[in-house]
A and B are shown apart, each in its own frame.
Chain A
Amino acid sequence: MSDLIPFIVAKYNYWIYITLMMIGLYAMIAKNNLVKKIVGMNIFQTAIILFYVSIGAKKGATIPIIEHAHGDAHGAVSHTIEIAHYINPLPHVLMLTAIVVSVATLGVALALAIKVYNRHKTLEEDEIIDQIKGI
């Protein structure tokens, strides 16, 4: 037990991301309402963003914007740049892409939900299945 607590504390944001992700996954599989599933899907995707951003963190480092660098003086500042001073920019770039993808998916999913609602007049999955079987 005494080993477990430092283990959790050292990597707590990975634990949080896994918990969030499982909440989203559970909602996507177990919930009956189609919009709740979409909400679950969003939680699921956001958890992955949290994971990637955690990879980028670096102790004692600041945001990845070179300080005291003015656009005209390119090359002049390069010798003073410390790697340890700036966090890793790559995960942030990847997550910008992932955010955009999740927004796009959300938009299409909502459009589909509207279409389903127009056709079946309900968003509860079991009621829709009953309707389909009844026909």
Chain B
Amino acid sequence: MRMIALIIIVLSGGLLLYATQDFPQWADPASPASLHLSPHYIQKSMEETSVPNLVTAVLADYRGFDTMFETTVIFCAGVACFMLLRISRQTPEDRYYRHISTGVTIHIKDGGKIPDKSKEFERIDTMWTPFDLVIKTVCRFLIPFIQLFALYVIAHGHHSPGGGFQGGVILGASIILLAISHNLRTATKRMNEKLIGLLCVTGVFIYAGTGALCLLIGLNFLDYSALASVLFLDPVSARSFGILIVEIGVGIAVMATMIWIYNNVSSAGKYDEGL
């Protein structure tokens, strides 16, 4: 296998290196890639969409259709992970509990009675989980700020680097941080599986639904200027608002899917013990 791999990489690497000879100079302002499409984006997008961040303008408007499917790709991955891993029937397993006031760990073998509801015990994942007061407190303190920053990144995508994907990932990461610093059950108590599944759908549906609304109003799919009649704006500002709406949709979908994938993969579909 090693020999085959070596032969393949020498052949394909050789082909790729051979092709670089005809590449334009690196970072050349006169290369075809900089001259054919991008001048239009750079010069016109401000007057056509009124979004100063060109990446956002191209991402959510000129090539908004790609981005819709990009969000759908994430959604597909979430559904696929759920479908592959989720085990709904819970087989009894060994569980560990800690008596909070004394710190004694009890080990309950399969089928044993479980003090789930008791206030005196807390469930722990391994035989010995340290009292991680510092980690828990610091994370609890940080998570609201992380979420605030995420909202800023989503909302400010028009004017600075950012947007739905970046903000959505940060939002998702804040919940995943909760799951890592405490445990998976704490995180799923805050956001249960059904909520996450429905949020995923809502996010992508906001995007595709905005597009379909434009189609129903009478213009082409995803032509946000159609929203002008609904939002009482001029068509160019309507594009800018349309971009904001879909960015929010993307943010929700990406956040929920990241959490969904993390929950499924880290607990192998059992939603019981995380990492």
Contacts and interface: CB of A to CB of B under 8 A. Distances in A.
- The answer to whether A and B touch in the complex, with CB atoms under 8 Å apart, is yes
B46 A78 contact: yes
A78 B41 CA distance: 12
B38 interface: yes
A69 to B, nearest CB: 4
Given A71-B240, A105-B77, A10 B26 contact: yes
Contacts of B158: 71
Interface string A47-64: 000000011111111011
| From B6, B38, B43, residue with most partner A Cβ within 10 Å | B38
Contact of B25 (A10, A22, A84, A115): A10
A2 to B, nearest CB: 17
A75 B37 CA distance: 20
A22 B13 contact: yes
A77 B34 CA distance: 21
Interface in A86-108: 86, 88-94, 96-97, 100-101, 103-105, 107-108
| From B17, B20, B27, B264, residue with most partner A Cβ within 10 Å | B27
Chain A contact residues (Cβ within 8 angstroms of B): what range? 35 or more
A25 B33 CA distance: 27
| From B28, B42, B59, residue with most partner A Cβ within 10 Å | B42
A44 B111 CA distance: 47
Nearest to A55: B33
Contacts of A39: none
Contact of A11 (B5, B20, B50): B20
Contacts of A59: 27-29
Interface residues of B, number: 66
Interface in B15-31: 16-17, 20, 23, 25-29, 31
Contacts of B52: 65-67, 69, 71
B268 A58 contact: no
B27 A58 contact: yes
Contacts of A94: 66
Interface stretch (B132-140, B159-167, B198-206): B159-167
A74 B236 contact: yes
A112 B25 contact: no
Interface string B240-275: 100000000000000000000100110011000000
Given A88-B34, A101-B73, A111-B80, 14 more contacts: A21-B13, A21-B16, A56-B33, A58-B34, A59-B27, A61-B29, A64-B54, A74-B47, A89-B58, A92-B55, A93-B55, A96-B70, A105-B77, A110-B265
17 contacts: A11-B20, A22-B12, A29-B8, A58-B34, A64-B55, A71-B159, A74-B46, A83-B42, A96-B55, A96-B59, A96-B165, A97-B66, A103-B74, A111-B81, A111-B261, A111-B264, A114-B269
